[in-house]
Structure formats: structure tokens, C-alpha cells
């Protein structure tokens, strides 16, 4: 009673990054050696989302600012923004074109645009169009 359980199950939200999941599981494996418990891992990561994050990170390494479009409550979009920042770009999470601030782009030569997995194309297109308007003005 009160000790570590002898069986443990691990699942991950589909939008988490593979690196974070792998790090967690490897730490659990180290703990397992000392605590003597059994655990099972179920990988529910979405490969399309993981691929999207990798592409966004690659783009973020080559631009100064990333605009990430998606719902404010979207874990996928929030993770994309964090991944872009970790890749070296200043990143802004917006829901639509009205959220853009021209001051974000002052003195910036290269801007990247990405979006969360469930962001509709029309929303991404609207942000892209507004970005072009702001930058061409």
C-alpha cells in the first residue's frame, strides 16, 4: 500500500512530439530498473502530425518569423509554435488574419507560415493573403 504500482500503462496524446514521448519512455525504463514494475506503452502519435511538425521545424530553421495558424485551444497548433521557437524562429500562434500585427515583421526578410492539423484551408489562405497585403504595403 502506498508504494509504486507493479503494472503501469502509458499512452500519449496524438499531437505530442515523438522526441518528448521517447524521452518520457526512456526515463520510465530507467525507473523500471530500480522500482521493478511492468509497463506497456501504446504509441498513438499521429504520423501526419509528426511529419507536419518536422516540416515546420525545418522551415523555422530557415526563417526569422513563423506564423502558426490554428485554434487557441489546439494542442497541435500550440506544439507547432513551440517546435518553431525551439528551431530558432520567433513564432506567433494566431487564429486568423485579424490577429496579425505588422510590427512582428519589421526588419524581417524571411517569414514562414504553417498551420495546425485541423485548421481549414480557407483560414490558412486568408492569413497568407493578409500577410501579402501587409508586407506589400
Average pLDDT, the chain: 84
Q: What are phi and psi of 85, to 5 degrees?
A: -65, -40
Q: Across residues 22-27, what is the average pLDDT?
A: 80
Q: How many CB atoms lie within 10 A of CB 60?
A: 25
Q: What percentage of the chain carries pLDDT values higher than 90? A: 48
Q: Please tell me the distance from the alpha carbon of residue 111 to that of residue 69, in angstroms, as a whole number.
A: 13
Look at 69 and 33; give whichever has higher pLDDT: 69
97 pLDDT more than 70: yes
- Residue 48, pLDDT > 60, answer no
For 43, what's the count of Cα atoms within 13 Å in the CB-facing half-sphere? Answer: 12
| Confidence class for position 45, pLDDT limits 50, 70, 90 | low
Confidence class of residue 76 from pLDDT cuts 50, 70 and 90? confident
- Give the model's pLDDT for residue 44: 65
Rounded to the nearest angstrom, the gap between the alpha carbon of residue 56 and the centroid of all alpha carbons in its chain is 8
How far is Cα 74 from Cα 128, in angstroms, rounded to an integer? 20
Average pLDDT over residues 74-102: 94
pTM: 0.69
Amino acid at each position: 500500500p502506498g508504494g509504486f504500482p507493479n503494472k503501469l500503462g502509458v499512452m500519449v496524446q496524438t499531437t505530442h512530439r515523438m522526441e518528448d514521448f521517447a524521452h518520457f519512455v526512456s526515463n520510465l525504463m530507467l525507473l523500471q530498473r530500480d522500482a521493478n514494475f511492468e509497463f506497456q506503452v501504446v504509441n498513438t502519435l499521429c504520423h501526419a502530425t509528426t511529419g507536419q511538425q518536422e516540416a515546420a521545424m525545418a522551415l523555422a530553421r530557415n526563417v526569422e518569423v513563423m506564423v502558426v495558424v490554428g485554434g487557441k485551444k489546439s494542442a497541435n497548433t500550440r506544439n507547432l509554435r513551440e517546435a518553431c521557437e525551439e528551431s530558432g524562429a520567433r513564432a506567433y500562434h494566431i487564429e486568423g488574419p485579424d490577429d496579425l500585427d505588422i510590427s512582428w515583421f519589421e526588419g524581417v526578410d524571411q517569414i514562414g507560415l504553417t498551420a495546425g492539423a485541423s485548421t481549414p484551408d480557407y483560414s490558412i489562405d486568408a492569413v497568407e493573403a493578409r500577410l501579402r497585403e501587409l508586407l506589400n504595403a
